[in-house]
């Protein structure tokens, strides 16, 4: 497979392109390459600024639909980000979560095996399961996996993602790579409850919402669990390291018997952790950091920002809540095989996320209405239109 970044003939399919990671990946592909994009999602709320981009074709479609799957699998590189993946939904809608994280990606994998597409599937660090407080580095190829009890619906998501990984690995002829994200954070994550979404978003958006409303952040079970927070911009850099490796090695004419050919990529048939072990915090520490950063963004004394309060997991998420106490990624494999290591320090990750959140959801001295939040997304579209989409790379490039 020839995936030169300046090759205009390459089209990559991004499924779930309207989500948090999808927003950033789509933007970066348009900024850093000359590729075309076939983007699929159920809605395009976050990416209104991309809808008229001449290098993109968008399909508002459901991965549950076999006709949509067929269309996606026509492209040589398929990135699957589509999933139900918020903790409150794996508690309340376990069966739907399993369909979304096993049935639909399994059908896509079958179609890609037939068409010969390279399927890059986003799994999760949750597949490492119910890791204990004293667990060490989680290694892609040697760490044993122990999930929680069947009555704890928390594990529905991890179980489905893990089965998808195994199914992909077992499908004859599939070119696959699995990505296991460890708590990506950054602008455009999730939603603000009551403004542009309902339910409980993931922890960054959850704490950011509380801060913007002037309410205390809620520490589930004391906030003792530890997580490694990873900048979404680092995650995008990982994807470019993966794309580069996906090209394989070009054989010289003699080796290839007179034709120019590419070998199989070392990135095929591999799972990679994408995380930042240097950014480990307990959830209670995360709340305190966010409190300080929020105070500095608003130019107020930290004492004026409400202190976090504790709440039980069952009271907050409902019966069936369970947790893993530590998730520390081993990152040597991505470093060794792809030359990638996440580098953004925790305070920069949190400042990037919170600054965006405040700008989007705090309008004219008050919490935004849903119209304000939507207008804010279209404002991004106006601000970015007319920029040279291939001129720069990194987090400061916005492709219109």
Ligand X SMILES: NC(=O)c1ccc[n+]([C@@H]2O[C@H](COP(=O)([O-])OP(=O)(O)OC[C@H]3O[C@@H](n4cnc5c(N)ncnc54)[C@H](O)[C@@H]3O)[C@@H](O)[C@H]2O)c1
- Can you give the binding site for ligand X, defined by CB under 6 A? 16, 18-22, 40-43, 62-64, 81-83, 85, 100, 104, 122, 124-125, 181, 183-184
CB-based contacts of 214: which residues, under 8 Å, 6+ apart?
306
Q: What are phi and psi of 181, to 5 degrees?
A: -75, 140
User: At its nearest, how many Å lie between ligand X and the CB of residue 185?
Assistant: 7
- How far is Cα 67 from Cα 260, in angstroms, rounded to an integer? 34
Q: Residue 195 CB, nearest distance to ligand X (Å)? A: 16
CA dihedral over 36, 42, 47, 48, signed as positive or negative: positive
Q: Which is nearer to ligand X, 23 or 317 (CB)?
A: 23
Classify residue 151 by burial, with Cβ atoms within 10 Å: 0-12, 13-18, 19+.
exposed
- For ligand X, the nearest residue by Cβ is 19
Q: Which is nearer to ligand X, 333 or 387 (CB)?
A: 333
Nearer to ligand X, 105 or 308 (CB): 105
Q: Give the nearest distance from C-beta 299 to ligand X in angstroms.
A: 30
How far is it, in rounded angstroms, from Cα 346 to Cα 393?
21
Q: Supply the minimum distance, in Å, between the C-beta of residue 390 and ligand X.
A: 24
Instruction: Tally Cβ neighbours within 10 Å of residue 288.
Output: 16
Rounded distance between C-alpha atoms, residue 24 and residue 34, angstroms = 16
Q: Smallest Cα–Cα separation from 332: which of 161, 80, 141?
A: 141
Cα 181 to Cα 119, 127, 368, 375: the distances in Å are 16, 10, 30, 30
Q: 23, 90, 102, 157: which one is catalytic?
A: 157
Strands (E) in 72-204, as ranges, are 77-80, 118-122, 137-138, 175-181, 184-185
| Coil vs helix vs strand at 202 | coil
Q: 125 or 265: whose CB is closer to ligand X?
A: 125
Distance in Å, CB of 371 to ligand X, minimum = 21
157 labelled catalytic: yes
Q: Which is nearer to ligand X, 223 or 305 (CB)?
A: 223
Active site residues: 157
């Amino acid at each position: 497979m020839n995936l030169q970044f300046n090759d205009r003939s390459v089209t990559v399919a991004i499924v779930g392109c309207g989500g948090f990671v999808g927003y950033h990946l789509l933007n970066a592909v348009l900024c850093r390459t000359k590729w075309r994009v076939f983007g699929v999602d159920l809605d395009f709320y976050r990416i209104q600024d991309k809808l008229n981009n001449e290098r993109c074709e968008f399909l508002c479609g459901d991965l549950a639909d076999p006709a949509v799957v067929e269309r996606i699998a026509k492209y040589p590189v398929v990135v699957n980000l589509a999933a139900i993946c918020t903790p409150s939904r794996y508690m309340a809608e376990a069966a739907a979560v399993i369909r979304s994280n096993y049935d639909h990606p399994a059908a896509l994998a079958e179609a890609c095996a037939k068409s010969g597409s390279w399927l890059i599937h986003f799994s999760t660090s949750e597949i490492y399961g119910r890791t204990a407080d004293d667990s060490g580095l989680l290694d892609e190829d040697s760490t044993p996996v122990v999930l929680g009890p069947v009555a704890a619906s928390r594990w529905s998501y991890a179980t489905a993602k893990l089965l998808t990984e195994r199914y992909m690995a077992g499908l004859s002829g599939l070119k696959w790579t699995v990505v296991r994200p460890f708590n990506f954070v950054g602008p455009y994550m999730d939603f603000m409850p009551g403004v542009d979404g309902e339910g409980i978003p993931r922890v960054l958006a959850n704490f950011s919402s509380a801060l913007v409303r002037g309410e205390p952040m809620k520490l589930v079970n004391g906030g003792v669990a530890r997580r490694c927070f990873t900048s979404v911009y680092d995650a995008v850099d990982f994807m470019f390291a993966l794309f580069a490796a996906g090209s394989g090695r070009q054989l010289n004419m003699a080796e290839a018997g007179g034709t120019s050919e590419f070998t199989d990529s070392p990135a095929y048939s591999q799972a990679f952790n994408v995380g930042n072990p240097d950014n480990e915090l307990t959830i209670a520490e995360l709340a305190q950091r966010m409190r300080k950063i929020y105070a500095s963004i608003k130019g107020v004394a930290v004492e004026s920002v409400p202190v976090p309060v504790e709440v039980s997991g069952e009271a907050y998420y409902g019966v069936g809540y369970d947790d893993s106490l530590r998730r520390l990624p081993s990152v040597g494999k991505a470093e060794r095989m792809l030359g990638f290591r996440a580098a953004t320090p925790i305070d920069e990750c949190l400042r990037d996320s919170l600054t965006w959140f405040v700008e989007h959801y705090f309008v004219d001295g008050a919490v935004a209405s849903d119209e304000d939040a939507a207008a804010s997304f279209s404002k991004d579209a106006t601000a970015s239109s007319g920029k040279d989409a291939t001129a720069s790379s990194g987090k400061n490039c916005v492709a219109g």
